[in-house]
Amino acid sequence: MKYEVLIGLEFHVQMKTKSKMFCSCANEADHTKPNTNICPICLGHPGTLPTVNKKAIKMSQLASLALGCKLNSYIKFDRKNYFYPDLPKGYQISQFDKPVAEHGELIINAVATDGLTGSLELENELKRIGITRLHIEEDSAKSIHTKDKEASLIDYNRGGAPLIEIVTDPDFSTPLEAKTFAQEIQLLMRHLDISDADMEKGHLRCDANISLRPKGETILYPKTEIKNINSFRSLEKALEFEIKRQKILWEDGKAPKVQETRGYDDHSGETKSQRTKEGFADYRYFPEPDIPPLTFSAKEFSALGTELPELPQAKRLRFCHEYTHTGEEAKIITGNIHLANYFEQIISELQAWISTSELDWDKEKNTLIKLATNWLINNLITRLDEKNISFDDNKISAENFAEFITLLHQKKLGSTNAVKVLDIMIDNGADPSNVLRDYGLEQVDNDDEIKKIIDTVITTFPDQIAEYQAGKETIIKFLLGQVMRESQGKADPEKAENLLIEKLKK
């Protein structure tokens, strides 16, 4: 039998506000001594009063707009009651029936193997994923279990940190779609500067729920929720495993009859049962009496709309159109907003340079953009990666990188030496013209100088010259190599080849 797969995702995003959600403690749990960023409010002492972090509300509303959600003009907080050592109050302040926003959507394209949206040729393969709701809640503390399993330690620094929870409709049909969406959520949160959204560090957490049904049926069967997913790869792998497992259950006539929670084990690549519906908690939600509901005017919402920057998908699409980037190039460059801005600064520097020269931007732009894109992706980014330098610590200014591109374009710098120049620039951020001068790496395109080098090569390799003249034309590559070597990589290779052939024909 054929089955239809239904997957929904739930995200928790740690917002990077200065203070926690309901108190003035620093929202900094990663590099802080345990249990130092705490106060009576986030520790839940009796008689303390929470106050709402306005910045967190705004961030959650911006995220909602970016996800095409309808913002609620009346929102309130509720208590979600359950007992756990990492929850000092015995309840978590969350939102139940009046969340920040509802009914959104995000379009993804998971058909291409790289999960690309904005690739022009694949526009008709886009898929809409519905967003059920987006709400705010406070984070729990962090439990650390000792290796000997004798004790559990609790660090309350994270307790009360602001979280955004995003819940999607069960619209995904494949693990790849789910992974693509999760990566898009990460990109959006980073783009909006809401969160570092690092999955490994727990800034972005994701649970998946999944059920199967025979193709053609429309009812929803009990879903299985998968927890402990800590990377995009695990998300995809866990879902792949679960589809296989549930298919077998269906085929054996043992389709899941109750809702179940399973944990994903990264090492075995399997999910393991944690609890079933019978054991599900009843959270007894009720309105948080210490925080009055919040209301927003249409005017406030429209002002918020103007603060929304260009979103990653729109940016990718624009880069494809404006800079004739391939989907893959646009994805790499817009994958980091600082890199995208850097690229656009380089292009405007190049345009400024052209306007002061005798060249015409419309004629040169395609070549220059291509040159800049290639050197940026295939050399600068790759070299920074190899040297373990993050792009944000890149020392080369956009102005210097643009100048480097103009030197290549004017053939004042050959590609072999360009790699050396770039390496020096990466190390000290130097101006490329200075590097060329200081290291004597300027490309030689002066005919007379190249001819002199050719003469030396001809005298040094008489046998090879004879072979060439006897008809073995392929040996020209060897001779050209000698000219390049003799010039220490500085000769313009195209010019050298032409002059060499010309000379040998005489």
Nearer to Zn ion, 89 or 191 (CB): 89
Residue 11's H or E segment, with its range, is strand 3-14
Nearer to Zn ion, 49 or 419 (CB): 49
CA distances from 132 to 104, 189, 224, 302, 356 (A): 7, 18, 18, 22, 54
| The one-letter amino acid at 211 | S
We find the least distance from the C-beta atom of residue 20 to Zn ion, in angstroms, to be 5
443: helix, coil or strand?
coil
Q: Under rule CB under 5 A, how many of the chain's residues touch Zn ion?
A: 5
Per the structure block, which two tokens stand in for 226? 């998968």
Nearer to Zn ion, 39 or 476 (CB): 39
Work out which of 39, 107, 126, 424 binds Zn ion, going by CB under 5 A.
Answer: 39
We find the least distance from the C-beta atom of residue 17 to Zn ion, in angstroms, to be 13
We find the least distance from the C-beta atom of residue 40 to Zn ion, in angstroms, to be 8
We find the least distance from the C-beta atom of residue 35 to Zn ion, in angstroms, to be 11
Nearer to Zn ion, 15 or 25 (CB): 25
Residue 217 buriedness (CB in 10 A; 0-12 / 13-18 / 19+)? exposed
Q: Please tell me the distance from the alpha carbon of residue 229 to that of residue 7, in angstroms, as a whole number.
A: 15
- Of 41-49, 52-60, 337-345, 485-493, which part binds Zn ion (CB under 5 A)? 41-49
Per the structure block, which two tokens stand in for 208? 């998946």
Residue 471's region, left for phi above 0, alpha for psi from -120 to 50, else beta, is left
- Percent helix, strand, coil in the chain, to 5, is 45, 20, 35
Taking residues 400 to 439 in sequence order and writing x for each that binds Zn ion by CB under 5 A, - otherwise, the string is ----------------------------------------
Binders in 1-30 for Zn ion, by CB under 5 A? 23, 25
Residue 52 near Zn ion by CB under 5 A:
no
270-276 sheet: strands from edge to edge:
70-71, 101-108, 127-138, 162-168, 3-14, 204-214, 224-229, 260-265, 270-276
Q: Mapped to the 3 state alphabet, what secondary structure does 15-37 carry? A: CCCCECCCCCCECCCCCCCCCCC
Nearer to Zn ion, 37 or 334 (CB): 37
Nearer to Zn ion, 28 or 105 (CB): 28
We find the least distance from the C-beta atom of residue 268 to Zn ion, in angstroms, to be 39
Nearer to Zn ion, 40 or 305 (CB): 40
Q: Please tell me the distance from the alpha carbon of residue 116 to that of residue 328, in angstroms, as a whole number.
A: 7
Nearer to Zn ion, 88 or 414 (CB): 88
- Of 37-45, 180-188, 358-366, 446-454, which part binds Zn ion (CB under 5 A)? 37-45
We find the least distance from the C-beta atom of residue 37 to Zn ion, in angstroms, to be 7
Which residue blocks in 323-409 are alpha helix, DSSP H?
A: 327-334, 337-356, 361-374, 382-386, 398-409
Residue 182 near Zn ion by CB under 5 A:
no
Per the structure block, which two tokens stand in for 238? 């866990």
Binders in 270-329 for Zn ion, by CB under 5 A? none
We find the least distance from the C-beta atom of residue 159 to Zn ion, in angstroms, to be 8
Residue 42 near Zn ion by CB under 5 A:
yes
Report the interface residues with Zn ion, using CB under 5 A: 23, 25, 39, 41-42
